[in-house]
Structure 1
Amino acid sequence: MKPEIILYNLIPNELLEQLKEHFIVRYHKLDTKMNASFYEDLIKAKGIIGSKMKINRTLLKKAPNLKVVVNISVGYDNLDLTELTNRGIMATNTPDVLTDTVADAIFGLLLSTSRRIPELNDYVKSGKWNENIGEELFGIDVHHKTLGIIGMGRIGTAIAERARHGFKMNILYHNRSNNQKAEKELNATHVNFEQLLRTQILFACWFRYVPKRFI
């Protein structure tokens, strides 16, 4: 007989069908107060798949057969890793699932603000574009400018790759440690936090804690 698992987030149908080939899937909508049927299924469940549910000692006491917790999320702050370890339950997450998506979104914002795309879109739609626009609406170039990144982790590096390879930008970054790969492949320069803020840059991307005195 197939092992039973609990799924509490909707996933694409093709992935759901793959799960059903190997498991009996019990779906429950995540709620702050899960109903009695959830706890009935939890007793038999070998796995839990989803994100945001608090997997703590209280819940694990009611899951005697649980073998794995799959967190569909970059983070894992909802998981009591100590308790999971003590019980021999495997925990997983998806650290790279949104790296390129976030980097694309950030670079989209950079281009939109620099080239004043939302403003000019409204300008055209409102019927004001009936002659050449003035220089005040040109915006500024992105290519060959300097980009400042605070936190050169996965997302920061993905943004730097787009900036360097796509727009030939100079990369300055502040990080707790040097990212040697970024320095070698993207010609990125590591600077301290104060120096980064003093430099004339086109755009700064925050991916680390920023002291309040700088906000």
Structure 2
Amino acid sequence: MARPTVYCTRPDIPAEAMAKLKQHCDVTCWDKEEPVNYDVLLNNVKGKDALLCMLTDKVDKNVIAAGDKLKIVATMSVGFDHIDLAECKNRKIPVTNTPDVSSDSVAELTVALSLAAGRRIVDCANAIKAGEWIHSWGPMWMCGQGLQGATVGFIGMGRIAQSVLKCMKALYIGKAIYYDKFQPIKPAEEMGAVACSVDEVAAQSDFIITLTNLTDETRGMFNKSFFSKMKKTGVFVNTSRGGVVNQDDL
């Protein structure tokens, strides 16, 4: 019986995982540690039983059509907005992802970015490198603001946001508020977070953390209207998809 064939869009898959995959399948990989060229993807998915892709790969209708024998599309990511789910559903091709694999690491990154932005760590480092502190230092120079006692607002309260909230509570934040399409979110409520509207999160928060999915509804939702409602001293941290933010308005 012929072994299943797999096309993988990156060569730098953890060795243990790749070895296990190769025990059961014939695997062909893109040989560069960078996103696979779209035309290369189109050509190599032909005749394959499975596609193992990354969030940097555009798996659109054309790619799915080229994969005339595809039985599954697996993405090594939490998000799956790079895959045409409607077309996969139309062709009865299952799509799998890795929903909880990076929750803790993204949570740690989110807390680090919040502290870095609030405490102006990058500004301070650059100023010190430039020698500015010698002439500019004063008791309030580059003070910024911390998380202790702060109101932290979340847009999106899924697994990662809940991990962020858990970390931030250890830093003695003053209050946590959130908006989620499916609120109330029981684990968040059990940690003391209060459900609010989007506008209330914008207006009340010292730090705003966005961890929402990228959908037609959320694309560009953080725009001039949202930012105008924020506190003048508010810190905005986005560790979800870039597409949720209108960069020009920001």
Output the TM-score relative to the length of structure 2: 0.69
Counterpart of 2:3? 2
Residues 1:130 and 1:25: Cα distance change in structure 2 (over 3 Å): same
Query: Once the two structures are aligned, what percentage of the paired residues are identical?
Result: 26
Counterpart of 2:24? 22
Residues 1:114 and 1:81: Cα distance change in structure 2 (over 3 Å): closer
Counterpart of 1:204? 208
**C-alpha deviation, 1:101, in angstroms:** 2.9
Number of paired residues? 209
In our comparison, the structure showing a higher alpha carbon Rg is: 1
Residues 1:145 and 1:53: Cα distance change in structure 2 (over 3 Å): closer
Residues 1:70 and 1:136: Cα distance change in structure 2 (over 3 Å): same
Equivalent residue letter for 2:6: I
Equivalent residue letter for 1:96: D
Kept in 2, the 8 Å contact 1:49–1:71? The answer is yes
Q: 1:144 aligns with which of 130, 149, 157?
A: 149
Counterpart of 2:186? 180
> In the alignment, is residue 48 of structure 1 matched against residue 51 of structure 2?
yes
Task: Report the aligned-residue RMSD.
Answer: 3.0
The range that moved more, 77-86 or 1-10, is: 77-86
Counterpart of 1:120? 124
Kept in 1, the 8 Å contact 2:52–2:75? The answer is yes
Q: Counterparts of 2:65 and 2:121 in 1: how far apart (Å)?
A: 54
**C-alpha deviation, 1:87, in angstroms:** 4.2
Secondary structure of the residue aligned to 2:140 is: helix
Counterpart of 2:234? none
Deviations 1:118-165 (A, max 9, x none): 233234334455699522123333212211112222332222111113
**C-alpha deviation, 1:49, in angstroms:** 0.7
> In the alignment, is residue 214 of structure 1 matched against residue 226 of structure 2?
yes
Higher share in helix: 1
**C-alpha deviation, 1:85, in angstroms:** 3.8
In structure 1, runs of 5+ residues without a counterpart are none
Secondary structure of the residue aligned to 2:116 is: helix
In structure 2, runs of 5+ residues without a counterpart are 213-217, 228-250
Deviations 1:143-201 (A, max 9, x none): 122111122223322221111133344201122321122011x10011223333332x3
Output the TM-score relative to the length of structure 1: 0.79
